[in-house]
Structure 1
């Protein structure tokens, strides 16, 4: 009885929208006129849209670049920061500061950095004889530009988690390895990294889920351009719903994305059970 109010609130505001979204995926509706039940028609129409393939490829490209650029960066930075004793609090504040900056404000700031004319990055590169680069205005560089800003904006939280995990590594193991003549790299690779395996796995899953739902960066930076080179799955869902008024197709694509993310979560849970057993 004590839990019932909380369960009702959770059911109404969390589970019912999921069920409602699933029902809409089998309907043709603009949420104004009466809905028409169309079965799997929305899914069939969805797979015939050439923009879906482009959005999936772009999303996977963003995920891949984020893993290559953005996933190891917090771990390496946290490892370096863990060796700093003087002014550690200041460095932690500075590395976490981008997280508390509103995303749209940060993106607008970076749009000025990326300005192809007199943006900060091109001005700095001009000093060493490079550039200017088109950044957001070229299909070849737009996605990388989004990933760089996204990495900068979201890295702080992961760094603090890694710092806490590194602090939990038994010091006697590190001291014993140091006495045996192990280098800093050997101690990190053989002792610190294995101790961080559960944390790395969790952050990897969170990054995969987060980057596969990337929306704010392509929406504010480029609107999906140039030439749909930054159109992502979530941005395509937004177009279906709020530009085309086709909420059924938007809900169908949302449901498919949810299935993919659920499968990723299942793979992670299976992997963590295997790690625990070993």
Structure 2
């Protein structure tokens, strides 16, 4: 009995010590997380919730707002620029996928096959990413200048017809897609390169022994092995291109004839030109719901396929 009376309190004391230590560790962890959680809440979630509330309010200043229900959404649907902005945004996204999704993959495959000057070409491809977006837009704006612009000077030197580039409704949107593709090419190429270098060399050796050509190796080895990376980059590119703003704002101002006005640029006009924060937030909410629904469906389909 003496042994039992001395053992039980020790067990209880040991359990109590471990519980106190666990609580202290948790409190320490939450204390370190508190700063990040507070910053995330103040600068990310609070603006999002505030913008969602303003979507149902009439406001010419953030401090004075009255509830108007769905009036802001009705106003958007009556605006002729609303339809043009969505059409241009979808067209920009489609063109960016055709040009900006295939080109980085092809460049990554080419760079992966190089045996000399690998570092130089990788730096050259990634260099546009290090240039600020505004500087890139201004640089290409000079390239596209219909008068002394670089591209038209080259065409004149080659005795070829010049183009109006961003001043023509037929070529303005494509011109902006080329700028966005060039500016964001480097990061995508490096991600593809990392995925390509993770493919076991034995697979390529087996394909070569079977007599597979370069295209067959890419089709049956490279693409299946990088499928997950390609699907994730596809999702990220669609979300990013649906929010294009810098190129139309700097280079065309939404013109000519609303040929390059996008949803994000229209949000900017409502907020900072018309000073209608309610309609700007309503359009932002529509874009958020669309991208959120697309992302959820896309991830669901890709999860089922993999």
TM-score band w.r.t. shorter chain: over 0.9
In 2: Cα distance, 1:168 partner to 1:24 partner: 48
The answer as to whether partners of 2:62 and 2:277 remain within 8 angstroms in 1 is no
- Whichever structure has more helix as a proportion of its residues is 2
Aligned to 1:220: 250
Stretches of structure 2 lacking an aligned partner (at least 5 in a row)? 1-29
Q: Say whether 1:207 aligns with 2:237.
A: yes
Aligned to 1:159: 189
The answer as to whether partners of 1:205 and 1:264 remain within 8 angstroms in 2 is no
In 2: Cα distance, 1:32 partner to 1:165 partner: 46
Q: Say whether 1:132 aligns with 2:162.
A: yes
In 2: Cα distance, 1:18 partner to 1:33 partner: 16
Alignment of 1:95-110 (within 5 A): 95-110=125-140
Aligned to 1:40: 70
In 2: Cα distance, 1:269 partner to 1:67 partner: 18
Listed one character per residue, the Cα deviations across residues 19-38 of structure 1 (whole Å, up to 9, x for unaligned) are: 00000001001125621111
Aligned to 1:26: 56
In 1: Cα distance, 2:45 partner to 2:62 partner: 23
| TM-score, structure 1 as length reference | 0.97
Aligned to 2:14: none
Alignment of 1:29-178 (within 5 A): 29-31=59-61, 34-178=64-208
Question: How far does residue 144 in structure 1 lie from its aligned partner after superposition?
Answer: 0.8
In 1: Cα distance, 2:271 partner to 2:39 partner: 26
| Larger-Rg structure | 2
Aligned to 2:18: none
Question: How far does residue 263 in structure 1 lie from its aligned partner after superposition?
Answer: 1.3
Question: How far does residue 129 in structure 1 lie from its aligned partner after superposition?
Answer: 2.9
Q: Say whether 1:184 aligns with 2:184.
A: no
Give the superposed CA RMSD: 1.1
Stretches of structure 1 lacking an aligned partner (at least 5 in a row)? none
Which residue among 292, 295, 299 is the counterpart of 1:262? 292
Aligned to 1:251: 281
In the comparison of the two structures, how many residue pairs are matched?
Answer: 276
In 1: Cα distance, 2:157 partner to 2:210 partner: 47
Large movers: runs of 4+ above 3 Å: none
